[in-house]
Amino acid sequence: MMERSDSVLLPEQRVPVIAKCDILVVGGGSAGLSAAIAAKRQGADVVLVERYGYLGGLASGGLIVLLLTLDDGAGRQVVAGLCQELVDRLEARGGCYYPPKGEWGDSSDELITQYQRRGLVWGSAPHKVRYSVAYDPEEFKFVANEWVAETSVQLLYHRWASDVVQDGDRITHVVFTSKAGRQAIACNTVIDTTGDGDLVAFANEPFELEEVHPWLWFRMAGIDDASADGDAVAQARGFRTVKPGQALLPWGAAERIDRRIDATNPDDLTYAEIECRRMVMEEVDRLREQIPAFKDAYLTDMALTLGITESRRLVGRYVLQREDLDKPFDDVIAVTGHWTKYDCTYQIPYGSLLPKDVTNLLVAGRCISVDHRVHHATKEIPACFATGEAAGVASALALSSDVLPRDLDTTQLQKALREAGAWLPDRA
Ligand SMILES: Cc1cc2nc3c(=O)[nH]c(=O)nc-3n(C[C@H](O)[C@H](O)[C@H](O)COP(=O)(O)OP(=O)(O)OC[C@H]3O[C@@H](n4cnc5c(N)ncnc54)[C@H](O)[C@@H]3O)c2cc1C
């Protein structure tokens, strides 16, 4: 019998440096896509690395295909910039659906029901129509690839960040693992948009870790829209998509799976993948049997990745708290509404993107420095676009101004963000 040991010592290895860049964005979800494009448009030399073969992360592969929301719940748009540009690009291809501007803030029952059926109105009554957008995930992936190519961001797929090399308080390289073995990329500044704060952890910056119930969204087609049994999709607790006869089913294991998982633990992920896929198939069978309009419906796709709402969150220079709702910040770099609440916003300060010690790391997307309750709002896709855009512009400006990101003049950053099309409150 071969003896087993608890650990193994790896031999020292010389790792090839496959690229050198000003700004390295790790993770090609909403925040990463936005950060890379924003930094490139400021003139920086940008590499974007993604572990899978598509962009969008949860917003495409996770089938979370609802932008909730670009407004403050009172009819005013508070997320614009690259998120708005995404909507424009999707719309040009007929790949999205949203209430026209004249309807935002409207509280008529007819409109509310119409948009609830699309998954565009949430929270508790009294409701108002939101500026929220439903879209097709394949259109997102296509548009994102074209956008990145057009902007000349260097995109590297199929590489998984697994470590960092540090020189004091600076990251000099990020190490990636792939079928080609280990490779390193040298950079001036790194933006962690992995969703899970992987680089935050590799660089030993403090974080909080939340265990969550996993979700697995799926879609079915072949639903009989002309069926006499009322709104069959609503009965199935699903939403109409941009295509006829199709439903998005935001199925969560929360009610059925027996435990929360740590989404940075591969054993937990393995357990959840198997359980959730089994449970989704049970649900597909149940819908076919119990809802007449679903009799001939079929599963078109389950999400490629589990729906993980939360894992690591940076504990950075500022931790945005629930009490900060509607509070103005001098260093505001993005604003988000709340998808379940009306007429309120969080201003996101620059300090929520900055780690305490490492000087050339920024964080954007769902792992920024906020508390668990604020995360409910800042994790939403439009907010991830907005923090990604801010991190991209900030890192490029810091470089061209020859200062550390933490020493960047935030008035200059706000001016550049506005010029790039982002929305910020007047006083900032
Ligand atoms: C069940 C559920 C429902 C939701 N509902 C909505 C909704 O209706 N509307 C809404 O707006 N938001 C919703 N959200 C929130 C939203 O989908 C996510 O928070 C948001 O998409 C996160 O974007 P991100 O770019 O921060 O991270 P992600 O989308 O997770 O992107 C991270 C990217 O980094 C890559 N990556 C990760 N680790 C590495 C690594 N080590 N090396 C290289 N690449 C790596 C991943 O493959 C991925 O592409 C929901 C989330 C969940 C889970």
What is the distance between the alpha carbons of residues 420 and 389, in angstroms, rounded to a whole number? 9
In a domain, 3, yes or no: no
Instruction: Tally DSSP H helices, then E strands, for the chain.
Output: 10, 18
Collapsed DSSP state (helix, strand, coil) of residue 100: coil
Q: Tens digits of per-residue pLDDT, 304-315?
A: 999 999 999 999
Q: Is 214 in the pocket of ligand 1 (CB under 6 A)?
A: no
Q: Is 69 in the pocket of ligand 1 (CB under 6 A)?
A: no
372 plus 271 within the same structural domain? no
Q: Is 161 in the pocket of ligand 1 (CB under 6 A)?
A: yes
Structural domain count of the chain = 2
321 plus 363 within the same structural domain? yes
In a domain, 9, yes or no: no
CA 370 to ligand 1 centroid distance, Å? 16
Q: How much is the average pLDDT of 8-31?
A: 97
In a domain, 424, yes or no: no
In a domain, 381, yes or no: yes
Q: Is 31 in the pocket of ligand 1 (CB under 6 A)?
A: yes
336 plus 409 within the same structural domain? yes
86 plus 32 within the same structural domain? yes
Residue that terminates a domain, selected from 258, 282, 302 = 302
In a domain, 53, yes or no: yes
160 plus 282 within the same structural domain? no
Report the interhelical angle of 137-151 vs 81-92 (nearest 10°): 110
Residue that terminates a domain, selected from 253, 268, 302 = 302
179 plus 264 within the same structural domain? no
Look up the CATH number of the domain holding residue 84: 3.50.50.60
200 plus 287 within the same structural domain? no
Residue that terminates a domain, selected from 302, 337, 353 = 302
Q: Is 309 in the pocket of ligand 1 (CB under 6 A)?
A: yes
330 plus 374 within the same structural domain? yes
Domain of residue 254 covers: 218-302
Q: Whose CA is nearest to atom 4 of ligand 1?
A: 64
Q: Tens digits of per-residue pLDDT, 91-148?
A: 999 999 999 999 999 999 999 999 999 999 998 899 999 999 999 999 999 999 999 9
347 plus 199 within the same structural domain? yes
154-156 vs 46-49, strand pairing mode: parallel
In a domain, 130, yes or no: no
What is the distance between the alpha carbons of residues 73 and 345, in angstroms, rounded to a whole number? 9
Average confidence score pLDDT of the chain? 95
CA 193 to ligand 1 centroid distance, Å? 9
What is the distance between the alpha carbons of residues 186 and 173, in angstroms, rounded to a whole number? 4
Asked if the model's pLDDT at residue 229 lies above 70, the reply is: no
What is the distance between the alpha carbons of residues 243 and 287, in angstroms, rounded to a whole number? 19
> Which is it for the CA torsion 102, 376, 66, 251, positive or negative?
negative
In a domain, 121, yes or no: no
203 plus 283 within the same structural domain? no
Q: Above pLDDT 70, what percent of the chain?
A: 97
Whether 339 and 383 have beta carbons less than 8 Å apart is answered as no
In a domain, 171, yes or no: yes
Which atom of ligand 1 is found nearest the CA of 217? 1
Q: Whose CA is nearest to atom 19 of ligand 1?
A: 379
Whether 85 and 421 have beta carbons less than 8 Å apart is answered as yes
173 plus 140 within the same structural domain? yes
Whether the model clears a pTM of 0.85, i.e. scores above it, the answer is yes
Q: Whose CA is nearest to atom 31 of ligand 1?
A: 29
236 plus 179 within the same structural domain? no
